[in-house]
């Protein structure tokens, strides 16, 4: 079997890669487990130095990696360079803070009682099942904290970005980590079960769709293996009647169109209080219409194509079904002529329950505007979703925004007067159908560590 890399902007085949058989995958996992037994004995200083070399290697190949992402999944090269830089940042973050995050912790005890403390020890090999939309960042978001913790990794990447998957393996090797501490498996989705079942694999992290997360969680649960799942999202952005509309529109458009609209944590539903809905919609449509797609390989392009034609067509069907159910097409909504998986910035207004734009995740450059009576109704609508990854609220009353974000919005990440984004310093993850577990921050490395209690009498 082979994995085929196709340029979504042209539809032309780029390269074919030989897939790994189940037997080959098992041998690679054994080699990674052997390397991990050596790596877990390394000192934090050695791990930090390796992560810094990895950051340096990323920056040295920034243009090359950005072009690779543009060719394989349509990300504009300017966005690709930013993604590479963020990967370097997360490596440097854990190079610097790994020792303090993973330091032993003193535990309470009686006066003159035993010496009690906890130590954090790596679990071993972590299987990462990753998507194509951020083909480097999604991997490094798991990999940097995993290496800092003394774990090792095997990657099952999306089948349309095999070049990116192999490039990451090469980067780790060039950074002079132990040779097999991280390897890429060129396998299909049906082979994941066999790899997860290997005794050397001690945990799994998956970023992807909710159905994929359920399947992996079921098998990992049967095997009693820890898991972190970062799944789909239909992030609501709540626009209150006192919001700074210029600021809100700028943030909303940026978030909706980031990565060509293909981000789990992008703004998807814009819940606008009725008194400002008309003005918000006008400004939002104007700002969305000013963005035009282009060749992802051009430096001036800010909106590329979608990752595959079939994904574009699925998105268009969601738009069509929503309009048929009563949504108003305020912008876009037409498949352009010509080659490539292009789709224009699209705005649906008057969106209501029962429409795909209200009920489902729109994974592309399509925005859904939903009208709310007031702030309480807006929060109700925002939470009326099976997803709970990110959310945002826009208001000039910062204390009100703080309270709504902290106490009332159902999501793992809530922002006030800004768009939701991941940051190496902060925990990242969702609730409900958006998954569980946390990446990054203090929590990322500890998800796959044994918090061992030690009591010395």
Per-residue pLDDT of 394-449, as tens digits, reads 999 999 999 999 999 999 999 999 999 999 999 999 999 999 999 999 999 999 99
CA 333-339-343 angle, 5° bins = 20
Among the listed residues 87, 91, 264, 413, the single catalytic one is: 264
Whether 264 is catalytic: yes
Give the mean pLDDT of 194-205. Answer: 98
pLDDT at residue 1, rounded to an integer: 81
Chain center to CA of 379? 24
Give the mean pLDDT of 240-246. Answer: 98
CA distances from 140 to 93, 196, 283, 341 (A): 12, 20, 36, 27
Give the mean pLDDT of 230-249. Answer: 97
Q: How far apart are CA 81 and CA 377, in angstroms?
A: 40
Among the listed residues 169, 200, 230, 439, the single catalytic one is: 230
Give the mean pLDDT of 107-114. Answer: 92
Say what the pTM is.
0.96
pLDDT at residue 260, rounded to an integer: 96
pLDDT at 253 over 90: yes
Give the mean pLDDT of 233-239. Answer: 98
| Residue recorded with tokens 């990447």 | 157
Domain spanning 235-423, CATH class: alpha beta
CATH superfamily of 2-231+434-456: Aldehyde Dehydrogenase; Chain A, domain 1 (3.40.605.10)
Q: What is the mean pLDDT of the chain?
A: 97
The H or E element spanning position 154 is strand 152-156
Q: How far apart are CA 262 and CA 361, in angstroms?
A: 10
Give the mean pLDDT of 64-89. Answer: 98
The residue ranges of every structural domain in the chain are 2-231+434-456, 235-423
pLDDT at 179 over 90: no
Whether 252 is catalytic: no
- Give all strands of the β-sheet with 390-394 in edge-to-edge order: 328-331, 346-349, 366-372, 267-273, 235-239, 390-394, 413-416
pLDDT at residue 411, rounded to an integer: 98
The burial of 242, by beta-carbon neighbours within 10 Å (0-12 exposed, 13-18 middle, 19 or more buried), is given as middle
Q: How far apart are CA 142 and CA 449, in angstroms?
A: 13
Per-residue pLDDT of 303-355, as tens digits, reads 999 999 999 999 999 999 999 999 999 999 999 999 999 999 999 999 999 99
């Amino acid at each position: 079997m082979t994995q085929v890399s196709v340029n979504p902007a042209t539809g032309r085949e780029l390269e074919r890669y030989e897939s790994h058989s189940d037997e080959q995958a098992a041998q690679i996992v054994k080699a990674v487990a052997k390397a991990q037994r050596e790596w877990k004995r390394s000192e934090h200083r050695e791990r930090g130095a390796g992560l810094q070399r990895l950051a340096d290697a990323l920056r040295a190949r920034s243009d090359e990696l950005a072009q690779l992402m543009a060719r394989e999944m349509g990300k504009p090269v300017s966005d690709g360079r930013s993604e590479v830089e963020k990967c370097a940042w997360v490596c440097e973050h854990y190079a610097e803070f790994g020792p303090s995050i993973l330091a032993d912790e003193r535990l309470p005890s009686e006066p003159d009682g035993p010496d009690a403390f906890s130590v954090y020890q790596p679990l071993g090999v972590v299987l990462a099942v990753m998507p194509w939309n951020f083909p480097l960042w999604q991997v490094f978001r798991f990999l940097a904290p995993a290496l800092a913790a003394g774990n090792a990794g095997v990657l099952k990447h999306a089948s349309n970005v095999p070049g990116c998957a192999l490039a990451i393996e090469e980067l780790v090797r060039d950074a002079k980590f132990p040779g097999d501490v991280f390897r890429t498996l060129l396998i299909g989705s049906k082979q994941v079960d066999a790899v997860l079942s290997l005794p050397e694999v001690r945990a799994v992290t998956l970023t992807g769709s909710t159905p994929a997360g359920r399947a992996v969680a079921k098998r990992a649960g049967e095997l009693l293996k820890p898991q972190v799942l970062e799944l789909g999202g239909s992030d609501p952005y709540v626009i209150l009647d006192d919001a700074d509309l210029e600021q809100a529109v700028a943030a909303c458009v940026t978030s909706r169109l980031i990565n060509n609209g293909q981000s789990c944590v992008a703004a998807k539903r814009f819940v606008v209080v009725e008194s400002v809905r008309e003005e918000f919609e006008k400004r939002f449509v104007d700002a969305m219409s000013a963005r035009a797609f282009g060749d992802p390989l051009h430096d001036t392009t800010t909106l590329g194509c979608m990752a595959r034609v079939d994904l574009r067509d699925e998105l268009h069907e969601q738009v069509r079904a929503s309009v048929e159910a009563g949504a108003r097409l305020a912008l876009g909504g037409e498949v352009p002529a010509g080659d490539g998986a292009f789709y224009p910035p699209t705005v649906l207004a008057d969106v209501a329950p029962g429409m795909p734009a209200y009920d489902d995740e729109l994974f592309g450059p399509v925005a859904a505007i939903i009208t709310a009576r007031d702030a309480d109704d807006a929060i109700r609508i925002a939470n009326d979703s099976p997803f709970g990854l990110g959310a945002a609220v826009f208001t000039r009353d910062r204390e009100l925004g703080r309270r709504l974000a902290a106490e009332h919005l159902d999501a793992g990440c809530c922002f006030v007067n800004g768009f939701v984004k991941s940051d190496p310093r902060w925990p990242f993850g969702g609730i409900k159908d958006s998954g569980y577990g946390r990446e990054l921050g203090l929590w990322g490395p500890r998800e796959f560590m044994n918090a061992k209690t030690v009591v010395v009498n």
